[in-house]
Each structure stands twice: as C-alpha cells, then as structure tokens.
Amino acid sequence: MKRKIRNWNENKFQYYKYKVRLRKTFIDDKLSYIIECSNLHEINPKLLYGVLLIEYVNRGNWRTRTIESVLVKYFIHTAVKLDMSIGIGQIRISTAKQFLTDVDSPNMGRKLLEDKFSIEVCARILSHYIHITRHAENPLLDIVKFYTTGKNLSESNASIELYYSLLKWILEGTILKGVYGYELQL
C-alpha cells in the first residue's frame, strides 16, 4: 500500500512539474517586478518566483480565474466573507490585511487581483516568514507551511509535501538557469 501511495504522489509530482513548465511564461513576464520586490523586501528572487509560479499553476483554469474576478468585482462582500485567496499569489484577504492594515478588506480584495500588488504582498509575506523560520530545522518546509496554512507548526500533509517538493525542485532545478545568479539562502 505504501508503494502505491508513493507512486501516486510521484505521478502527481510529475504532472505538476509538467504544468509548471507549460505555464511558467506568465510568471516569467513578471521577472523584473519580482526582482524589484525581492530586493525591496530582502528575499531571494527565486523563492518569490517559485511561490508565485506554484500558486499561479494551482489557481485553476480560465473559468476559475473568471469566477474569481467576477466575485471580487461585483460581489466583493461575499469574497471578503469567504476570505477568498485571490490573485497570482493566491493570498487570502485576511492574510493580506495583516501586512497592510491601512487598506480595508473590500479594497484589499480588489487590489489583490492586480498582479503587481499581489507580487508585492507575496514578497512582504515571504520576508516575514523568512524572519520567523530563520533558525528552523527545515526553513523551506516551514515557509511552505506558513504560506499555505498560516502556521509553521502545521502537520505535513500531501498538499504541503507536494508544494514543498515543487518549490524545492524549482529552486534547485534548471527551470531558472540563467535567470538569476542567486543561491538559495533563507
């Protein structure tokens, strides 16, 4: 049974690697702003790039993105009530509010649909998490737990392990070869 589960996870991992390769051009188009935000918040651009890429791939197809946009634009109070994850960073409205307290929830939801705003908020969040996990046994895993659940002490599950494996693959692999000259330093 354990072998069957591992094979299923490996198949899922290979599928997501394929999706990342297929859809990465959307995030590649944002490289200059990713680097700018990374420098501003003193984080590794590869980390921000990797998180945005995974979140973009997991965001869903055009129908899902269209529904997200319609809810935020025309039914913002429902989006706030549901505490939706919005934009390319898939950031919950309540999480973004923790980092930008001067923006009210309805406007936060609307602004998170803007790619540049979402990237900047994602960089702030990652910078915060990096400072919290600096001395952790596995800082990258803790960052994944924080980003996906809001808690670094969360139990690992299949989704967290998949996200962690994908992020590690992106950071260590050749998908970014020649794009950045940075080594992973958390």
- Chain segment 25-77, per-residue pLDDT in tens: 989 999 999 999 999 999 999 999 999 999 999 887 788 889 889 999 999 99
In a domain, 57, yes or no: yes
Query: Is 136:152 a contact under the CB 8 Å cutoff?
Result: yes
In a domain, 43, yes or no: yes
Q: Which two tokens stand for residue 89?
A: 């960073």
In a domain, 149, yes or no: yes
* AA identity, residue 72: V
Query: Is 41:126 a contact under the CB 8 Å cutoff?
Result: yes
In a domain, 76, yes or no: yes
Query: Is 86:113 a contact under the CB 8 Å cutoff?
Result: yes
Short-list 27, 20, 58, CA closest to 45: 27
Burial of 45 (C-beta count, 10 Å sphere; 0-12/13-18/19+): buried
Would strands 85-86 and 91-92 be described as parallel, antiparallel, or unpaired?
A: antiparallel
* pLDDT (average), residues 1-9: 55
Query: Is 88:118 a contact under the CB 8 Å cutoff?
Result: yes
Strands (E), the chain: 85-86, 91-92
Which domain covers residue 95, as residue numbers?
24-173
**Residue 113: pLDDT band with limits 50, 70, 90:** very high
In a domain, 179, yes or no: no
In a domain, 12, yes or no: no
In a domain, 180, yes or no: no
Q: How many domains does the chain have?
A: 1
In a domain, 2, yes or no: no
Q: Is residue 129 pLDDT above 80, yes or no?
A: yes
